[in-house]
Amino acid sequence: MPKTDSSSNSKFIFVTGGVMSGLGKGVTAASVGRLLSNAGFTITAVKIDPYLNVDAGTMNPYQHGEVYVLKDGAEVDLDLGNYERFLGIDMTSDHNITTGKIYQHVIERERTGDYLGKTVQIIPHITDDIKRRIRNVAKGHDICIVEVGGTVGDIESMPFLESLRQLSHEEPENCVLFIHVTLIPHSKNEEPKTKPTQHSVKELRSIGIQPNLIVGRSTIPLDDDVREKIALFCDVPTEAVFSNPDLDDIYHLPMSLEEESLDEYVMEQLNLLDRAVPLPNRDTTWRESVTAPKPNKVNIALVGKYGLEDAYISVYEALKHAGFPDGIEVNTFWVHSETLDDGDLSPLSSIKPDGIVIPGGFGSRGTPGKINAIRYARETGIPYLGLCLGFQLAVVEYARNILNLKDAHSSEIHPETSHPVIDLLPNQHDIDELGGTMRLGELETHIDKNSLAHSLYGDNHCLERHRHRYEVNPDYIDSLEEAGLKFTGKSGPRMEILEIPGHPYFFGTQFHPEFTSRPTHPSPPFLGLVKAALSHSTPNNKNPKT
């Protein structure tokens, strides 16, 4: 088996991208990690984001997608969610490096006199700090995969690429591998074009980095002529050019790359073949989970305000994971919450949902529509899952329509409400800064026995990740519970889980269970929703699974 007792034995795989952002560098890197993990190696990962923000916490989901939360409370880029899902590991703030983090740390050191009067410069001070962070994460692992966000040629990424160039020279032979992911577009007559790849690699080589392996992103697999042309002009062996075509499911990418023997080539270059688990004995749990037949189907309505799938990527993936164990294909339909604001629910009802999910979010836009959707789910018996804001608005809807507190609302959305059933956390009143100041990270929730929550988690407690400033107002808890809304999960004085006994499935969580869902270990609240949705849809399923 691979050795992990010495940090000096760590290998590094650096993944860069060219031509355009959003190519799928993160998924490619995570898939390589999945294959190497299947071969018996311990894998960790670092995501480099060249932006000046210290973290992703204050970024607009429209521009940057979902803000993903790690167990230590770090707010990070959504790509770290892909790494956790593909690799089955828990990451921390140390696994995400941003320009803001680096410069903030170096300047703080300069202010305290750590550099002893030296002129502080990009080289060596910034680059040394980048290398230090990468090596610290790599300690104790066989392989550390480092993805550089953005594209080669971006001015923001230059210090990071220079750091990787230096590190590649400082590490022993066969310890560093560069993978370059680039676009192979097709002309109108379907001819693949390699010129963008040639220019991208030329740009990379101009700063002293020669890729060892090139992965071509394209709509269809690369043929031999294209591979040979890329190899010739980019100075790599033909066998080092791999294809990453469009697939129906991103979770099939590891198998696609495995069919091209990319993992074997990587291990050969890093001198790891003799330490790998023999091919017939490698872990197949991933393949079995993501390729299992799905004879049943359910439709889930995801009601949100951001018209961008990446803004809810962990929710989409958690729903998909929840269908794997029971052979259920989960079709998720996004419904713009603002289209429901006036009470016309036809945009929602027209898709005939078997379940409804309302995810987390901030701000007032689309809130009336979300509340209308919650009432629709509660009154019609459609399975419902509310996450963070979806949990809070379920409390608001119940207070309005069952307790008859028509003005009930969250004080975040309607500060003047006479019934703030959702109110600011006590320790949040005097906070001026927005970044990193919410209730964040993994926290324990105690679960009542004889509850739906207990049957889902199979335990009297759970550890889940949080990201919120507001909570259920304690002044209204007794009235809500007397009226039939039960809080079955608590963290000290805070309400964490709600459910309605007698409803087919009405479940809400103040935390974000989507962040801990994995293809091989689906999240319990999502599993419960999808199973309830299947029961709801059974008359429409020709072959319902028992």
What is the set of active-site residues?
388, 512, 514
Asked whether 212 and 177 are in contact (CB, 8 A), the reply is yes
DSSP per-residue codes, 320-353 = HHHHTTTTEEEEEEEEEGGGGTTS--HHHHTT--
Nearest residue to 251 (alpha-carbon basis) of 134, 82, 459: 82
Asked whether 506 and 529 are in contact (CB, 8 A), the reply is no
Helix or strand holding residue 495 (H, E):
strand 494-499
Q: How far is CA 443 from CA 80, 198, 355, 369, in A?
A: 20, 49, 27, 30
Cα-Cα end-to-end distance for the chain: 40
Q: How far is CA 429 from CA 434, 478, 513, in A?
A: 12, 24, 26
Residue 537, SS3? helix
Nearest residue to 387 (alpha-carbon basis) of 533, 520, 529: 529
CA gap 37, 32 in Å, rounded: 9
CA gap 540, 270 in Å, rounded: 52
CA gap 295, 414 in Å, rounded: 45
Q: Nearest 5°: phi and psi at 208?
A: 95, 15
